[in-house]
Structure 1
Amino acid sequence: MNRFEGNVALITGGSRGIGAAVALRLAEEGADVVLTYASRADLAGEVVEKVKAMGRRALAVRADSADAEAVTAAVEEAVAMFGRLDILVNDAAVFLVGPLADMGPAEIDRTLAVNVRAPFVASRAAARHMGRGGRIISVGSNVADRAPFPGLALYSMSKTALAGMTKGLARELGPRGITVNLVHPGPTDTDTNPADGPNAEAITGLTAVGRYAEASEIAATVAHLASTDGAYITGASVHVDGGFTA
């Protein structure tokens, strides 16, 4: 399929994990791709080369999502390079967990800067360039609705905030034909949360299907929401969590 032929997609945090899977899925279906990364230029470069091997254009932009100006600049660079922006996927995030007593101002500020402020700033910048059919999709977490272990309060709070942002932006941008949605992945096999990790058995037991997701499964839902097939879905929080929150 070439559902995204002629479209340009920007994926924050697109050098690894779910973000990389999204970048590759959108490219497979015809999109040119811009991705941001904070430090791993090697991983970003690998994704870019895979996208180019599909015959699509690709660009990696170094931008720490904790820096609001860098996030805005990444959006502007994407538009300057490819002439348009049709899809924004807010994937970049930090996962700072631990006892409440250990979550001080530095941890709070960084979590909110990357997980909450950056998606808002990126959406604000992207919306200026989007026409009808524009898509803004944020990646949340299953722990926004169910925090089964201690130490998740700060991270859960940050991901829950995305639901309010999504609803508010959906109302504001809907008249312009731009949809805004939120995908809540469940446990997903990535380098930061491997399916064979030390806590994997306990986490798997909390799902209904008894396994971790592949990153490509999350990317498939993002692709649906980004396509014309998802045109009547907006302001929604979609759980792709194997029944974790059932």
Structure 2
Amino acid sequence: MRSSAVAPLEVLLIEVGSRTFALPLAAVRYVARIAPEFRCNGEQREDYFVFEDEPLPFVSLWDALGLPSAYAEYDSLQAMLPQRRQDHLDWMAALEHSLRTGTPFAKARSPYDCAFGKWFYAYRPEDRRLGLLLAQFEQPHALIHGLADRLLAQAENNQQAAALAEYQTASTTTLATLLQLFDSASQLLTELQRRIAVILGSGRAARALGADAVRDIVQIPAPRCKPGQAGGPTAGLILLDDGTPVPLIDWTVF
């Protein structure tokens, strides 16, 4: 007698933001890394993803599912760090102006009070590499801010030349170190972002779906596959071994 058992469904588990979704493995051709410069979500997102020299329609699952990327924090840091880098160039320029002209110096003198310092002492990175790099900021950042009280006091005590000489030395040493750290942090944030494009289908039906990461490949017994309502971005739910429900994406609707 022929068995009527239904074969299990093999799925690729992917991460979009903080959530897990499934794609039918039979439709998956390849998982490619998305280059950091590729605009994968938001109003400026790319329309096509090039795979094997073929431009495929690109679907941003972050936008389609209304979820922020797991790397959204890194995006905001990359936008913030160049501003904070420029802040310290402006800070040093203002200090030099005060030393030369006697104009009151109005910028933050404590490393805890500038915009970068307020962020730096409150931020706790989860990534170990980022944490180790950020830890290197503390000494040169504190030394830069420590210049203000000392050099301004020298200038007020008729030691302007000595104050300006120390200022120039700090500009080519401590400030240069701090600026390089800002550049290194921006570069590392780019490297840490490893979004993926899941290539599905073939011919005109081929698509590239943008996601944050691949989690696993699993087999789901038929009784743990629950159909959903037609017309939406999900074809139903699957239940993992631990009972966790995971939406099964209907990639053909995109």
Greater fraction strand: 2
TM-score normalised by length of structure 1? 0.25
Relative contact order, CA 8 A, sep 6+: which one is greater?
Answer: 2
Greater Rg by CA: 2
Q: TM-score, normalised by structure 2?
A: 0.25
